[in-house]
Amino acid sequence: MSDRQQLADPDPRLASDVESDAPAAAPAPRRRGRRITLVVLLVLALLSGGGVLAAGLYYRSVDSSIERVEAFEDVPQESRPQAEAAAGGALNIMILGSDSRDQENAGGSRSDTIILAHLTRDRSSAQLISIPRDTWVHVPRSKSGRGGRDAKINAAYAWGGVPLMVQTVEKFTGVRVDHVTMIDFAGFKEIVDALGGVEVDVEKDFTTKYSLDPSGSRTFVKGRQTLSGAAALDYARERHAFADGDFARIRHQQQVIKAILDKAASGGVLTNPGKLNSFVRASTNAVAVDKSLSLVDLAMKLRHLRSDNLTFVTCPSRGTGRVGSESVVFADTAKAGRLFDAVRRDDVSDIIAVGK
């Protein structure tokens, strides 16, 4: 079985949860393969402090090879939230992570990870807000006529690709999305292997039965340990072994993101041109970002950011339940409203306080 086939979610219920009354529409065409998130963007930003010669030229070389996707073309401008004047140039980047599927295995694609990354106006810190993929929201009607009803938030990607995800996240949060980046979880494996592994503190003993290991399973032992790319990917994807399911997976994804940044900043990558090039090229061969995002400009502005300046938050919820045959997450709309209002105002202290 290929890595790509193994990445498909083994739970057959999830395919039917996305849409039950019509065949899934294929999202806008995009290259098959790895996709990158803010992780590598931030690592590129570290270049400016790493003493690498001709960093500006290197940035531009990387930037010119990045695949661009149209994220906003079909988003009705009149319905979009406006940026708050008080935010003073803060940026909000929607990060989408998905498990690719072969067409014979399931209809359409899903976005399994949804993160709203808020970069403060002075670019001194970033807050990464994870929105559980099963959050029950209103999905606007897409240009093709799909949607226009309540559903799990990740249904938006299956019904209308990136533009409908932008519409749905903006409607749910009231926050204007400035840019979009995408990653297939296979990218985690490539990134971690290029770093020589990352250190993660495993919260409890568990075994995943949906592993990239040839045996099909992998056991994790409680405590701090170094994970290879395949092990890190298994760790970041597992949810069945935990009582809180997808919330555990979100925690683990956040751990891996932080571990990647820590290793990139402290593992000699930034000061070793060979290691640096291997890491960046492994990560950006199939990068996809929206057409207006300049990694050169943004990376220079984020050059002082480190993992200690990142705060990970999960969108407040009232827990899980069922709507018809579907298992869903119910947002705590009052608390989430306060959280995203703080994002709109670029009020970091409120974001952190509400997100605790």
For residue 99, what is the domain's CATH number? 3.30.420.590
pLDDT at position 287: 60
Give the Cβ contact number of residue 41 at 10 Å: 25
Q: Domain for residue 251, yes or no?
A: no
Q: Domain for residue 216, yes or no?
A: no
- 233 with 185: CB under 8 angstroms? yes
Euclidean distance between CA atoms 63 and 41, whole angstroms:
10
Residue 80 sits in which domain range? Answer: 3-7+29-194+267-355
Q: What is the dihedral of CA 286, 200, 354, 84, to 10 degrees?
A: -20
In the chain the beta strands, taken as DSSP E runs, fall at: 67-69, 91-98, 113-119, 126-130, 136-139, 149-152, 179-184, 198-202, 206-208, 218-220, 223-227, 288-290, 310-314, 317-323, 326-331
Rounded to two decimals, the pTM is 0.80
Residues 80-87 have a mean pLDDT of 88
Q: Which of 300, 304, 331, 307 is nearest to 317 (CA)?
A: 331
Q: Domain for residue 238, yes or no?
A: no
Whether the pLDDT of residue 47 is over 70: the answer is: no
Residues 126-154 have a mean pLDDT of 94
> Strands 126-130 and 113-119: what pairing?
antiparallel
Residues 64-87 have a mean pLDDT of 86
Checking 265-270 for CB contacts under 8 A at 24+ apart, the result is 265/43, 265/46, 265/306, 265/307, 267/195, 267/196, 269/43, 269/195, 270/46, 270/47, 270/49, 270/50, 270/51, 270/52
What are the tens digits of pLDDT across the range 218-275? 999 999 999 999 999 899 888 889 988 889 999 998 898 888 878 877 766 666 767 7
pLDDT at position 21: 40
The total of structural domains in the chain comes to 1
> 268 vs 137, which has greater pLDDT?
137
Q: Domain for residue 345, yes or no?
A: yes
Q: In percent, how much of the chain has pLDDT > 90? A: 43
In 203-341 the beta strands, taken as DSSP E runs, fall at: 206-208, 218-220, 223-227, 288-290, 310-314, 317-323, 326-331
Residues 291-312 have a mean pLDDT of 76
Q: Domain for residue 206, yes or no?
A: no
On average, the pLDDT of the chain sits at 78
pLDDT at position 10: 34
Q: What is the pLDDT confidence band of residue 50, given thresholds at 50, 70 and 90? A: very low
Give the Cβ contact number of residue 52 at 10 Å: 16
pLDDT at position 305: 72
Q: Domain for residue 218, yes or no?
A: no
Q: Domain for residue 49, yes or no?
A: yes
Q: Domain for residue 236, yes or no?
A: no
What is the number of H-type helices and E-type strands within the chain?
12, 15
